[in-house]
Amino acid sequence: MSKTIFILGGYGGVGKRLARLLLAESDAQVIVAGRNRERAESLVAKLNQDFAGERASATVVDAANPEALRTAFQGVDLVLAATPSFANVYSVAYAALKAKADYLDMHFGAHMWEELAPLAPAIKVAERTFITQGGYHPGVPAAMVRFVAPQFSHLRKAIVSMAMSFQIESADVSHALLMGLSDYQSDLFKNGSWRKAKFKDMVKIDFGPPFG
């Protein structure tokens, strides 16, 4: 049975790319959601045309309305939060948990985990998978490290690096990016304890062309 994936902010820069990727690489049903019905329905029409089917659908929901979120998430397998703002991250994640859905957000706020930490016990009891800061740190890389770690008898170190490209498509994206970077801090675990990372601790990685 195919899964149903709900993309909140589905017609935004990140959301529409995720929708296309999911339709191209899976048999999932994709729900494109946001506050603007016209934009959601316009994208869905294009997606269904490009992928010759009816697997994409549109719905209207406001992330600031917890009741609307809980209703919208019913029957959904995965909630993908791709909105530029992370102001409602807790209510979105809580609604996903109540709907018994898994959760992945693409936010990059340095303190995102602090917002979601109170949900950790309930997530564990419900046996759901929740990943925050999807394309950033810790995000998916941390989940991948945890997944592969049991395959080794010893794991001393995991080196995680990334190449990033920002496409600023709206004022909301610009604001979220500036807010996320304004108080960004890195921590380093070394010799059995944590300390603030310094510039000299940075590891240089050559990804090769076209990234460098």
Tens-place pLDDT, residues 93-112: 999 999 999 999 988 766 77
Nearest to 8, CA basis, from 89, 90, 86, 63: 63
To which H or E segment does residue 102 belong?
strand 102-105
- Report the amino acid identity of residue 71: T
| Model confidence band, residue 116 (pLDDT cutoffs 50, 70, 90) | very high
Distance in angstroms (rounded) separating the CA atoms of residues 36 and 33? 8
Distance in angstroms (rounded) separating the CA atoms of residues 199 and 5? 39
pLDDT of residue 127: 97
Q: What is the DSSP string of 135-164?
A: TSSSHHHHHHHHHHGGGSS-----------
Tens of pLDDT, residue by residue over 64-76, are 999 999 999 999 9
pLDDT of residue 49: 96
Between strands 193-196 and 187-190, the pairing is antiparallel
| Model confidence band, residue 146 (pLDDT cutoffs 50, 70, 90) | confident
- Report the amino acid identity of residue 182: S
- Report the amino acid identity of residue 110: A
Tens of pLDDT, residue by residue over 22-50, are 999 999 999 999 999 999 999 999 999 99
First to last CA, the chain: 41
pTM confidence score: 0.81
Retrieve residue 69's tokens. Answer: 């979120």
